[in-house]
A and B are shown apart, each in its own frame.
Chain A
């Protein structure tokens, strides 16, 4: 199976858009664009496959008002 490449993926460049997708899964294209979203990994991926959007990497957007502690 052909593997994806992540060399262009830069979540920092998507920071303004991420605010709209907190707690959701987003699918990011090889061109670093958000191409689909969903409440679950499966839902987001289904949208990608339905529209034949090519290779993506998924990311679950965390709440953006907080830093993390273990």
Chain B
């Protein structure tokens, strides 16, 4: 038993007028705090190379967190390009569209963060996360 999501194809221009397409494993999720849930779901990217769940700071605001630094755990994060980001973590929950469970997860927020990322601290809620590249889909095994 599991949840299946087709990859979403995104254009990459690479500075050129013509584009190529790349398929990415985006899945629709809600963010949940003690008092609020994002009214509509949004796409977040499954990233098996990321340790943590990190979202743009405006999503914190959407669930009632006005200041991401307040009552947060600070942890700097670095990408493969060695660009560091200041991330502030809060204990919240995520709900995947189509699933009943609310998944308690430490979620980091960062300013100027362009892609909501679901790293492996999210993956642990599933028996397996299977990327089927040939079929361009991902399965979250329950």
Question: Per-residue 0/1 for A1-35: is the Cβ within 8 Å of any B Cβ (1 yes, 0 no)?
Answer: 00110100111100110110001010100000000
Contact between B13 and A19 (Cβ–Cβ < 8 Å)?
Answer: yes
Query: Does B9 reach chain A (CB closer than 8 Å)?
Result: yes
Interface residues on B, range: 35 or more
Total interface residues on A, using CB and 8 Å? 36
B42 partner, pick from A49, A55, A58, beta carbons under 8 A: A58
Which residues does chain A contribute within 8 Å of B59, judged by CB atoms? 41
- Tell yes or no: B62 within 8 A of A by CB: yes
Name B116's contact: one of A3, A39, A60 (CB within 8 Å): A60
Q: Is the CB of B114 within 8 A of A62?
A: yes
Chain B contacts to A: CB under 8 angstroms: 8-15, 19, 21-22, 24, 26, 28, 38-43, 45, 47-50, 56, 58-59, 61-62, 79-81, 97-98, 114-116
A to B CB contacts below 8 Å, 22 in the list: A10-B9, A11-B8, A11-B26, A12-B21, A15-B11, A15-B21, A16-B11, A19-B11, A23-B114, A27-B40, A41-B58, A57-B40, A57-B42, A60-B56, A62-B115, A63-B114, A64-B19, A65-B13, A68-B24, A69-B49, A69-B81, A70-B49
Q: Which residues of A line the B interface, CB within 8 A?
A: 3-4, 6, 9-12, 15-16, 18-19, 23, 25, 27, 39-42, 45, 48-49, 55-60, 62-70
